[in-house]
Amino acid sequence: MRTTPGHVPGAGVNAGSATPRRSLSGRIWRYRTADERAVAAVVRATGTSDGLARLLVGRGIAPDQANTWLGPVGMPRLPGVSSVLDLDHAAALLADAVTQRRRIGILGDYDVDGAASTAQLVRYLRAAGVTTITHVPDRIAEGYGPSAAAIDRFRAAGTELVVTVDCGITAFASLQYAAERCLPVVVVDHHVAEAELPAAAAIVNPNRSDDTSGLGMLTSSGLTWLLISRLHRELGHRGVRDGLLPEPESFLDLAALGTVCDLAPLTGANRDLVRRGLEILARGGNPGLRAIAAAARLEEPPQASHFSFVYGPRINAAGRVGDPALGLRILETDDPEEADHVAGLLEGLNRRRQSLEAQAYDEAVTQAEALGADAGPAVIVVGEGWHPGVIGIVASRLVNRFQQPAVVCVRERDQLRGSARSLADIDIGTPVIRARRAGLLEKGGGHPMAAGFTGSSGRAGELVAFLKDELAQARQPDSDERALLLDGILAVSGANVALGTELERAGPFGVGNPWPCFTFPRVFPVQARIVGSGHVSCLLADETRGRVKAIAFRSEGTPVGNALLRGRPLDVAGQVQISTWRGQRRAEVHIQDVAKCHG
């Protein structure tokens, strides 16, 4: 589709028939197709513009789904919740502990999803008058998930029930250790489960092979919110709700935070959850999130991207390079002064994380580029001296740069630590689990988009070969993960606040529902310069005499950044987004790729 100045996308030619082309970064540009009859049906059903209707149809939204997609934000629709195995049983176990005033232990992962999950439980149970003992394992000293030492710590503190959140589904030895000591454990986890399940009193995980709920897309923070909702209902049935308990809806900002930061697809139940969570946050939301926004000088209305690029990195910094308990502490406190104090600590840790990440990333890119065609189906790098807390972020950046799954490993004497990230259509968690089963790893697990592991550095070569073979088999024969899907063709003058505002109705955007991306044909990068940490900023100008501010993040030294700095005419692929500065909204283009001018 081609747009004319001032019109929303879709006012003209359907670009879906355009010939795919290769960009300067090597990606294939393809246009989404939209059936004209379906577009017309969406317009009739919703009264929306042709452009927005075309955008929805191009993303697989059927005419009978469009009103729901664009409709008012309500409570998340979870049609399969009644069939989530062990959910009601877990809620009953927690209700027993609440009514009998038993002490509850909560062990959460050290990432954002784990912190958001743990904070929800702490806040609700605290309001219910229950004493909770929390533990967040140290990434380096303890590693991932529950350990025998953690179980002993809970027992020594007098806990009578333990809940693991965002971990536990593969903790066979540790949970057997707890069972032998008569300490019941409830597992709330979304990571890939094996056929055999650990010894636990209840296991809430829609990714169990015997679970038919269809809610496997939920993260642990989403599952924790479901558990709290069920607990709230169960306590009501037992007559113990006294009006002082918070409504589960009030925790949806935390559930949304974990959902976005754990790279869950923003479709279906997840999209509902995040939309509602953003509304909760816009009305004030969690005190810790407010403190983080203030420390980061975030003045815009909350968006899903703020979870990824503002809140998430700061909370994660605690578990990556500092005290892992700080991420939980800021999300569970009700004290504004404490929240402000911890937010300041997280700002400092985030700056340290950025420095450590930059060093590791530069070395990883050098190693990856040296592999060239030998990289195979994934970028796999092994280094020394890299901080283990940043290798997951480095893996994510390698995925973005090379548009392939990435595995980043660091040798620590005889041990190998690794973190893997992937693209939406390639499962990285299963190969890591298979590597552990094959004896190549000591620990390993994850989900389709991310995984982590530890093993022996002496077997690094075998592991690399194994993962490459697994990922080569996992790749679909006709897939092209380097493709960039485009939603239409836009003139620079059409990149305006009106368009950006209308596009926001199709959000929130993220994994599974990416920001709409358009081709801006034959534009001139004006006043291009390097800003910040390797970003390239410029104005885009074209023959319509339109100009719009644009930025290509982390593009210095890349084909995209180099082409923009030369200032010659280009075809640009970019997203139209709205930024707010001192109350003023303006449109800007976030450049994703560039190509030689077509035709």
Nearest to 125 by CA among 152, 94, 170, 86: 94
Please check whether residue 576 is in contact with residue 554, taking contact to mean a CB–CB distance below 8 angstroms.
Answer: no
DSSP string, 244-305: -SPPGGGGHHHHHHHHHHTT---SHHHHHHHHHHHHHHHTT--HHHHHHHHHTT--SPP-HH
DSSP tag of 20: P
3-state DSSP call for residue 578? strand
The answer to whether residue 3 is domain-embedded is no
- Give the DSSP H or E segment for 175: helix 172-180
- Give the DSSP H or E segment for 528: strand 518-531
The residue behind tokens 């959910």 is 87
3-state DSSP call for residue 104? strand
The answer to whether residue 435 is domain-embedded is yes
The answer to whether residue 146 is domain-embedded is yes
Q: How far apart are CA 78 and CA 272, in angstroms?
A: 9
Q: Is 116 in the same domain as 28?
A: no
Q: Is 230 in the same domain as 307?
A: yes
Q: Is 452 in the same domain as 491?
A: no
**Residue type at position 282:** A
C-alpha distance from residue 175 to each of 145, 163, 181 (Å): 10, 11, 10
The angle subtended at Cα 359 by Cα 354 and Cα 364, nearest 5°, is: 115
C-alpha distance from residue 496 to each of 192, 505, 510 (Å): 43, 15, 21
The answer to whether residue 466 is domain-embedded is yes
Model pLDDT, residue 476: 63
**Residue type at position 188:** V
- Give the DSSP H or E segment for 366: helix 336-371
The residues pairing with 571 across neighbouring beta strands, listed in sequence order, are: 595
The answer to whether residue 74 is domain-embedded is no
Q: Is 253 in the same domain as 124?
A: yes
- Which residues 6+ apart lie within 8 Å of 232 measured at CB? 124, 241, 245, 247, 248
Q: Is 236 in the same domain as 301?
A: yes
Please check whether residue 300 is in contact with residue 293, taking contact to mean a CB–CB distance below 8 angstroms.
Answer: no
CATH of the domain at 400: 3.10.310.30
Q: Is 260 in the same domain as 382?
A: no
What b/e readout covers 445-463, taking b as 16+ CB neighbours within 10 angstroms? bbbbbbbbbbbebeebeeb
Q: Is 247 in the same domain as 294?
A: yes
CATH of the domain at 217: 3.90.1640.30
The answer to whether residue 371 is domain-embedded is no
3-state DSSP call for residue 489? strand
3-state DSSP call for residue 478? coil
Q: How far apart are CA 456 and CA 416, in angstroms?
A: 5
Model pLDDT, residue 256: 98
Q: How many domains does the chain have?
A: 3
The answer to whether residue 150 is domain-embedded is yes
Q: How far apart are CA 573 and CA 14, in angstroms?
A: 17
The answer to whether residue 116 is domain-embedded is yes
Of 296, 324, 345, the residue at which a domain comes to its end is 345
SS (H, E, C) 299-349: CCCCCHHHHHHHHHHHHHHHHHHCCCHHHHHHHHCCCHHHHHHHHHHHHHH
Q: How far apart are CA 210 and CA 198, in angstroms?
A: 14
Strand segments, DSSP code E, in 167-251 are 185-188, 202-204
Of 301, 324, 345, the residue at which a domain comes to its end is 345
pLDDT tens digits in sequence order for the chain, 599 residues long: 344 333 344 333 455 556 788 999 989 999 999 999 999 999 999 999 998 999 999 999 999 999 989 988 877 778 778 899 999 999 999 999 999 999 999 999 999 999 999 999 999 999 999 999 999 999 888 888 999 999 999 999 999 999 999 999 999 999 999 999 999 999 999 998 999 999 999 999 999 999 999 999 999 999 999 999 999 999 999 988 767 799 999 999 999 999 999 999 999 999 999 999 999 999 999 999 999 999 999 988 899 999 999 999 999 999 999 999 999 999 999 999 999 999 999 999 999 999 999 999 999 999 999 987 667 899 999 999 999 999 999 999 999 889 899 999 999 989 999 999 998 788 999 999 999 999 999 999 998 999 999 999 999 999 999 999 999 887 765 556 578 999 999 999 999 999 999 999 999 999 999 999 999 999 999 999 999 989 999 999 998 888 999 999 999 999 999 999 999 999 999 999 998 877 789 999 999 999 999 76
Model pLDDT, residue 164: 98
Please check whether residue 333 is in contact with residue 346, taking contact to mean a CB–CB distance below 8 angstroms.
Answer: no
Model pLDDT, residue 240: 86
Q: Is 131 in the same domain as 223?
A: yes
C-alpha distance from residue 64 to each of 44, 67, 69, 117, 266 (Å): 11, 7, 10, 34, 19
Nearest to 598 by CA among 29, 25, 109: 29
Of 345, 363, 395, the residue at which a domain comes to its end is 345
Q: How far apart are CA 129 and CA 142, in angstroms?
A: 30
Q: How far apart are CA 274 and CA 254, in angstroms?
A: 9
Q: How far apart are CA 597 and CA 599, in angstroms?
A: 7
Q: Is 26 in the same domain as 137?
A: no
Q: Is 124 in the same domain as 271?
A: yes
Please check whether residue 505 is in contact with residue 52, taking contact to mean a CB–CB distance below 8 angstroms.
Answer: yes
Q: Quick one: 270 exposed, middle or buried, by C-beta within 10 A (0-12, 13-18, 19+)?
A: buried
Nearest to 550 by CA among 573, 534, 566: 573
Q: Is 151 in the same domain as 292?
A: yes
Q: At what angle do helices 172-180 and 148-156 cross, to 10 degrees?
A: 30
CATH of the domain at 495: 2.40.50.460
Q: Is 243 in the same domain as 328?
A: yes
**Residue type at position 584:** Q
Q: Could you list the residue range(s) of the whole structural domain that residue 518 is in?
A: 15-32+487-595
Provide the edge-to-edge strand list for the sheet that holds 185-188.
Answer: 132-135, 104-108, 161-165, 185-188, 202-204
SS (H, E, C) 65-100: HHHHHHCCCCCCCCCCHHHCCCHHHHHHHHHHHHHC
